[in-house]
Every structure is written in C-alpha cells, then in structure tokens.
Structure 1
C-alpha cells in the first residue's frame, strides 16, 4: 500500500512528549518518519510511464497564487484515486508539462519535466517563471501515453500597473456529503482573474457509501470513507474523493485559485494546538501534521508553503498592479483557544481580554506592516470567519460566536485601528464559514450604528455545506434586526463575484436553486456596490 503514513507515534515516544511540543522537534519527528524525497530519491526506482494502463489524470489540473511573472501548476497522478495506493506503485514518475499562449498549444512558451514522488502521493507543484504579466496561459501535463485536461491560468498585472478592472470570485465550505458541487459548474463559466477559496475545502467527517446527500448518483464509495479522517492516509483519500468531483475539476481548470484553510481541513473548531476533543496535545499535533501535509500536497501552493511537521506558513500576500493588494490570513493555526467553551455565548470578560488573538502576534504585525507599505486602491483580506459583530438576536441577552472574530474583539480592534493608522480607505474583508451569504458594513464602533463606516465585509455562502438552504433562514429577522450594519443575508448555496474598479467595487451574490439534486440553476440573488473612498454597501 502506497500510503506513506508516517509512524509518528513511535517518533514521538522516542522524542518524549515535552520535546515534541516544540516546532523543531515536531518537524524533525515528521521528517524522520516520512523520509522525504530528497533523502531517498536515488534509492526509489523510476516507473516506466508507458506501463501506466489507466488514465492517471483523474483529479484534473489546477493553478494557483498568480504572480506577475510566474504561475504555479498542479496535478496528481491517481489512476484509481479512491484506492489507498491511488493505483500506482511506490516509484517515481517523470511527467512533462507545457505552457502555451493558445489552447491548441501551437505557441508553447515554456515546458519541461518534473518528477511525481511517491512520498508526496505523486503530486506535482511546478513553478513556471519568466512569463508576461497580466495575460492568460494554457497548460497541460503528459506521462506515458496519457495527457491531462487543459487548464487555463493567468498571471497578475505587473507592479505599478494602472489596472482598471479585476474580477474575482470567493468560495468556501464544500461538504461532499451535503450535496453536489453545482456552484462550481457555473463558476467554471465565469470570466474571472482569480478565485479565492476561503476554507473548508473538505470535511473530515465520515462519508457513507451513497455519498450522503448525493444519493442520486450510481457511485458507491469504498468503506474506508465511512470514518473520520485522522491520518495522513485518510486525508489524502479524502482529497481524492473531493477532487474527483467533475464540477470542482472544471473550476480548477478554468481559473487560478488562491487558497486558505479553515478548521475542517484538519478538525472542527480546533484552535492552534488545541483540538476540539480531549486528546493529548502531541496526538493532535500528529493529526495536524498529516492534515497540513495532505493540504499542501493537494493544493496549488508554492514551495514556501510546504509544511514543516505540524506547522505551515499559509498567510501570504498577492498584489495585482496598483488596483489591489490581497493579504491572505490564517485564523486557525495561531489563535487563542475559544473563550467560554466555544459556541454562541454571552460576551464576558474572558473573551474581551486584550491578550487574546485570532491571528497570532507575528501574523498580525505582518498584516499591519504590509498596509503601511501599500499603495493599492483596494486592500482586500481573504480569511476564514465572520469579522463584523454578529449578534444572534435584537435583545439584551444576545449571544456572539466565540469561534468568529466576535470571540476575539481586541484582536479585531487592533486590525481596524491598524487599517486606520495606515490610511487604508478601501478595506474589504472576505470570508466564508457560516454557510450563508452576508454583506456587512464595518463600523468604527459596532455598539453605535451611527458611527463611521470604515470598510466592507463580504461573506460568501457555501458551495454545498448546509444542503440546499433557503433565501431567508429561520433566524433572518433576528439577525437583520440585531445588526443594522448587516446589509445582505441569504442562506442559499453558491458563490460571490467581486469586480474591483478604480472608482468602485461591485459585489454579485450568486446562488443556486439546490445542491441535493444535480442540475441546480444559477441566480444573482443581489448586487451591491461600494465606492472607492466611501466604504459601505449600497444596492447596485
């Protein structure tokens, strides 16, 4: 079996619990136990790719993190993706790749070979450099007699370029067992520069043989999916299941993605090194190490994001000319444990402690320093959880979500104060997690509805999580009355398209009729604009 599941528990026992809880020891334990390609590449035989009898490109292709002169190309070789060894032996596979100006590959501009190592589950991350800024490219992979689907990607505009328009989409939360990825079918047909995935790309929960709410399909899933993902092998299989979805494959092939995780890529509502359930910290860090490694392997991420044991620097910055700076955050890995036992709680002093953080001190400083140097028209923060204050009802006994920024109000205030100190006039926060679409005005003082609006928050709804949903969820009246800065609320599945211009941004909340049956139709549920220099959402 080609699972390459590290024997980390044995490594932990050798190192001892206390030593394992340091970054250095944790990384050493994982590296020792997994035997990375550089350590044994010469001893691993190479597979004659002509002997691959089944299509190895079953999970499609992807690109990500576009830079002005570079793109990252991804694929994974998996002839039988739902099997533990993916249908390949424990051997290296040489793959050729091509990048072209045209879809027919008559004008090839770059090409080369790369090795798919079994240690990385035969995934490939190819960084292509020396490209022209701000233009589309087409790419493909080949090995043996097999050729991958063609993908389309796009480089970012050059630094300082006076770009007049940038069109992006925001997606999040795609529980396979809750429904079809129908929104991706429609997203693949959009004219976009980049897609931001804001977390919960997969769920660790068990998926039964019928695929949960996907009971309309004839596909019968193997029994090993009907358990919670805990190990590296489990997470790799779960990514294979999700990435085998044809609509997700189509979306990745159509657009470059910039991804960040939330909790379910590892475990529901974990906080830093604190798990949801009562397990020893070293045991959870073993799980986190496997989850993080599988995440990097299966996403179009660059080399600096490759994890070291249970640690992975996912926060990073993308710039699109003078028009936009994107500061992609990680609000899971460095956060303080949720106050008051997590969930929805009445605000009490514990949650309001200044020492509490959702980003960690280093990431917070990185964000604020980056704003000081920014000259972009729009400063956009793609991250995971609801940023604005969100009371659950319009009465004095309201509760707040301790897992969102409401559970870390001092951390939120430092971010807002930092944006103001840096002179950021067009702050836009993006997030998902809630399985609904929200549009918020970000207020100087959330306790005073008349206070100045200092930014905009766009929360995209889920792709599938929560099943079909409803235009007006059961708590629609309570939330809209309790939060006057909430300008839009819809509970259908879908995605959000945001068009940034030099003078204004347009936000189109798009929903589908349903996901528990295939073939859902697309609707633009609402459209808003926010003007440059005048933050706040108004109907388009």
Structure 2
C-alpha cells in the first residue's frame, strides 16, 4: 500500500495525536533522519495489547534482518521515528488517532505506542510507517466502558493459550485462532524456551547459527530467540487479529526459576549465585518487554518487572493477570529431586504470589462488581495426586500443590470476601484439565469455591493424544474426584461469557509436528453465574 506522508499524518477526521513512548533524550544514538531499508523492517509483525475502554498499546520492532547474530536486527545504532495511525476502517479512510514514537537501539528498535481517546467497545485498525515502509494492518478492540456503558458490555469472547515451543511444533493453532471471533487473547506464559533449538531446529528442519544451539543467557541470545519465534506467520496473524494480554512463566528466563533463585544446577550455570541470576533475569526481562505489546508500567527496572495487573471489561469481566514466578518461595525438595518434602510444602509461611500481590489480588477481587472474576494464572491451582497408588504421594512441587498454604489463603479469601464467580485459567502443564476448586480437595463433599480451566500447549510436547498415561493416572476413579475432564492434545481454549454463564470450548489439533492440521472442539463446559463448578455440555 503506497500512500503519501501527507495522507498518513494529515488525514481528515483526525481528532488528536499522542506522543511516543520515548523522547529523543532517552537514547544515546543520533536520529536517522531519512531511513531506507534493504528489506521489510516489519518482518516480526505488529501487535496490540492490554485493551482499555479508551485505547490499547501498539507494538512493532524494526528488524529488516531479524536473526542477525549481533541481535540488532539489521538496524544501525541510531534512533528512528516511527509514525502510527488508528482508524475505524481497514482502508484508513477515517483516521481517528495518530502519533509518533521513537524506536531506539537501547530497546532493539521496538515501539510501544500507548493510544488513548478511543471509544469503548469498538473495533479499530492500526498500522505503522517509517521512511517509505508501511507495516501490515492490525486490528484491536477497546474494552467496554465501566458499568456496561457503551458497546460490547455483557458479552465477552477471548481465547487463552500458553507454551509455544518453536522447535517442537508448528503454530497452526494460531492460524485457526486468528479466524475466531474474539475480543482479545490471554497468553499465560512460556512464549519461548530457553534451551538450544537443536542442530536442525527440531520439526522446523532449519540450519541456524551455532548461537541458537545453546541455552539463552545473553541479551543478544534472548532477543534472537524472540525474533526466531515471532517470524512465524501464524503467530503474527494471531497477534495482528486481536489485542493480547501477556504474562510470563518460567521458560522466558529459565526452567522452574523462583524469585531470585535459579533452577537446580542442570545447565552449567550455578544456582547459588543470586547476583548472576538477577543479571540474567534483567537481560531476559528487557528482551521480553522489547518483544511484547506491554504498557510503560510493565517496562522492567533491572531484573524487576511488574506483570501482575487488572483489566476491566465492563460489568461482565475483571481479568486479574498474575505473576506466579517473581515473588514465590523456592520449590521444596530440590525441585522434586530430594525425598521428604510433604511437611515442607505445607508450611504456612510459604507463598506463591508474594504478600503484596496476594493482597492486591484478594482485595481487588473482593471489591469487584463484575459478574466474573477470571485469574490469568500460570501453574495448576487444583490439587492433583499424580500417582493412583494410595501409598505413594506424588505432587507437582512447581505448581500450587507445592504451596498448599498459599492455595488455602487464595480459596478461603475468595469465599470470605464473597468474590463474584471466580474462574482460573491456567497454562504450563501441556494438557487440558477442568476442575472444581474446593476448600478441601480431600473431601468430595467440601464446598466448591470456583472453577479452573487449564489449557494445553500450542506446540510444547509435540503431538500429544486425547489420553495418555499421565491422564489415566490423574483420572483414575477416586484419586482426584474434583477433576472433570482431561485431554493431552495441542491447541487453545475459547471462552465466551455474559451475565448468565461462562462457556469454555477446548479447541484441539490432531498433530503439530507437521503443518496444516485441522481443528475441532474436543469438549465444551459451562459455568452458571452464582453456581461454581463446571458442567460438560
């Protein structure tokens, strides 16, 4: 699409402009006054995120050579002005907001442009321009106005996903997701994996620079692993189709990290050097921010990054986005490598969220007037005995089962505060599970407090199956009676809710180790407002 600068900046119908996130004074590089690119600078696509009633944040990263080993993406050490537009129509006849942001080398020439002044509950289109290069068009919806004033107030539709190991499967699920009718996407963690991709990049069958064969540790390595992931056309399509609300889990930094504590030393990096791990976290957090549609409050300060936040969608939904990595106590039992951990995991002082985030969550959910309070959560909340032998204790120590007192405070807090219809959406486990959340999981007659919908992976774990040994163990009669359903195929979960009910459709693919898989709905569940617990349709 070729339009003039005057058309881009001076289009009729512009009601205002916004300043870019970064000013010239925040970069040590001089400005590139007349940029010209040897290749498409938008090869990593466009995205939007964190929708509010009056706008959202727009993202892109200028990278004509996205896999350059130096991680500069083929860009010079100079800042570049990037113009953006938001319109009510896909052909940009009615531009309603425009502005300029600086893409600076210190942040890998990424752009995070926060747009305000839009109407609630509306669909908009956006694009970027730098030099003579115009980006693909993206689409995003604003949230409904508070208390249901404005469009899209009582019906909300979204998908949630997690765990997209690039070298273990193709992202066909995102191609299907992009064709859904959704208001936003919630991504629950493991956007990338820190390990080497293998000599032939796994199922992708590609030869890459040797730097991709080792675990990510430097800023350049993290940046390039994001670039490799975001080059996928199906992932780009899903980002361009909907605003995303993202949080991280462990693999964005390192498997099973907890606060300032690294994984038990299995990767050549010492797990007892807190300073070294905090430096590694700072590099990973910067690369994460550079490649996600996040607002300024989520910009990291060193190794600290506040990802927990709350988004309101009118009177129907409050979405509480959690970070269950940055503030938790260390996993007990040496990440399950040592015996005798049952008493330790039940200690009352143990925390999954940290004291501040726990108060924020419980107090905020308790004050919520929305019909549904949904927690965007990383690891499984529900208790799961993973061994059907009654004489064997087998708990997931990285999940909330390793933090039982924290789970008790969470569920008791919901009940005591009268939280409206709590529902937890969960990633991490590479399988789909539907569960009642009970005060006492060992007592089938214990009251149900809420519902958990755990979703499978996009590609991690390769093809999967409708049922496997883990599923058979978990679903053995009498072992976990609060579990309603299990599936170990790949895919995503679609959620539709209104003031009467919440419905979850599990969308699965028969394979991901080769492209072009079809999609089908494996099961559907509904939760009635005021009646916790899921019923299969």
What is the TM-score normalised by the length of structure 1? 0.91
Once residues 226 and 376 of structure 2 are traced to their aligned partners in structure 1, the CA distance between those partners, rounded to angstroms, is: 22
Q: Verify the 8 A CA contact 2:27 2:104 in the aligned structure 1.
A: no
2:228 to 241, 264, 278: 241
Match of 2:54 in 1: 69
Match of 2:481 in 1: 484
1:347 is displaced (CA, Å) by 5.5
Match of 1:282 in 2: 275
Are 1:319 and 2:312 matched, yes or no?
yes
Are 1:303 and 2:303 matched, yes or no?
no
Distance 1:204 1:112, change over 3 A: same
Are 1:391 and 2:381 matched, yes or no?
no
1:92 to 62, 73, 79: 79
1:421 is displaced (CA, Å) by 1.2
Are 1:461 and 2:446 matched, yes or no?
no
Match of 2:515 in 1: 518
Deviations 1:307-331 (A, max 9, x none): 1101111100001011011111100
1:39 is displaced (CA, Å) by 9.2
Look up the SS of the partner of 1:410 in the other structure: helix
Match of 2:324 in 1: 331
1:129 to 96, 106, 116: 116
Are 1:177 and 2:167 matched, yes or no?
yes
Match of 1:402 in 2: 397
Match of 2:140 in 1: 153
Are 1:210 and 2:203 matched, yes or no?
no
Once residues 486 and 27 of structure 2 are traced to their aligned partners in structure 1, the CA distance between those partners, rounded to angstroms, is: 56
Once residues 519 and 352 of structure 2 are traced to their aligned partners in structure 1, the CA distance between those partners, rounded to angstroms, is: 35
Map 1:100-115 → 2, pairs under 5 A: 100-115=87-102
Q: Verify the 8 A CA contact 1:37 1:119 in the aligned structure 2.
A: no
Match of 1:439 in 2: 434
Any gaps of 5 or more consecutive residues in structure 2? 1-20
Once residues 37 and 157 of structure 1 are traced to their aligned partners in structure 2, the CA distance between those partners, rounded to angstroms, is: 28
Once residues 24 and 331 of structure 2 are traced to their aligned partners in structure 1, the CA distance between those partners, rounded to angstroms, is: 40
Deviates more, 1:205-214 or 1:235-244: 205-214
Look up the SS of the partner of 2:374 in the other structure: strand
Map 1:185-200 → 2, pairs under 5 A: 185-200=175-190
Once residues 114 and 104 of structure 2 are traced to their aligned partners in structure 1, the CA distance between those partners, rounded to angstroms, is: 16
Once residues 24 and 444 of structure 2 are traced to their aligned partners in structure 1, the CA distance between those partners, rounded to angstroms, is: 59
1:530 is displaced (CA, Å) by 0.8
Are 1:417 and 2:407 matched, yes or no?
no
Please tell me the root mean square deviation across aligned C-alpha atoms, in Å. 1.5
Deviates more, 1:248-257 or 1:84-93: 84-93
Once residues 462 and 381 of structure 1 are traced to their aligned partners in structure 2, the CA distance between those partners, rounded to angstroms, is: 18
2:42 to 42, 54, 57: 57
Once residues 402 and 138 of structure 1 are traced to their aligned partners in structure 2, the CA distance between those partners, rounded to angstroms, is: 44
Look up the SS of the partner of 2:203 in the other structure: coil
Deviates more, 1:344-353 or 1:119-128: 344-353
1:514 is displaced (CA, Å) by 0.7
Distance 1:43 1:396, change over 3 A: closer
Once residues 472 and 30 of structure 2 are traced to their aligned partners in structure 1, the CA distance between those partners, rounded to angstroms, is: 63
Deviates more, 1:50-59 or 1:64-73: 50-59
Match of 1:20 in 2: none
Distance 1:346 1:152, change over 3 A: farther
Map 1:495-506 → 2, pairs under 5 A: 495-506=492-503
Q: Verify the 8 A CA contact 2:201 2:207 in the aligned structure 1.
A: yes
Deviates more, 1:123-132 or 1:474-483: 474-483
1:233 is displaced (CA, Å) by 1.2
Once residues 472 and 175 of structure 2 are traced to their aligned partners in structure 1, the CA distance between those partners, rounded to angstroms, is: 32
Match of 1:25 in 2: none
Match of 1:373 in 2: 367
Q: Verify the 8 A CA contact 1:307 1:313 in the aligned structure 2.
A: yes
1:496 is displaced (CA, Å) by 0.1
1:50 is displaced (CA, Å) by 3.9
Q: Verify the 8 A CA contact 1:426 1:455 in the aligned structure 2.
A: yes
Q: Verify the 8 A CA contact 2:63 2:75 in the aligned structure 1.
A: yes
Once residues 210 and 433 of structure 1 are traced to their aligned partners in structure 2, the CA distance between those partners, rounded to angstroms, is: 25
1:221 is displaced (CA, Å) by 2.1
Look up the SS of the partner of 1:51 in the other structure: coil
2:353 to 356, 359, 381: 359
Deviations 1:492-538 (A, max 9, x none): 00000011111111110010111100111101010111111111111
What is the TM-score normalised by the length of structure 2? 0.91
1:223 is displaced (CA, Å) by 2.1
Match of 2:3 in 1: none
Look up the SS of the partner of 1:505 in the other structure: strand
Distance 1:530 1:122, change over 3 A: same
Q: Verify the 8 A CA contact 1:357 1:411 in the aligned structure 2.
A: yes
Q: Verify the 8 A CA contact 2:148 2:154 in the aligned structure 1.
A: no
Once residues 425 and 300 of structure 1 are traced to their aligned partners in structure 2, the CA distance between those partners, rounded to angstroms, is: 29
Look up the SS of the partner of 2:225 in the other structure: helix
Deviations 1:234-279 (A, max 9, x none): 1111110001111100000000000000000000001100001233
1:51 is displaced (CA, Å) by 2.2
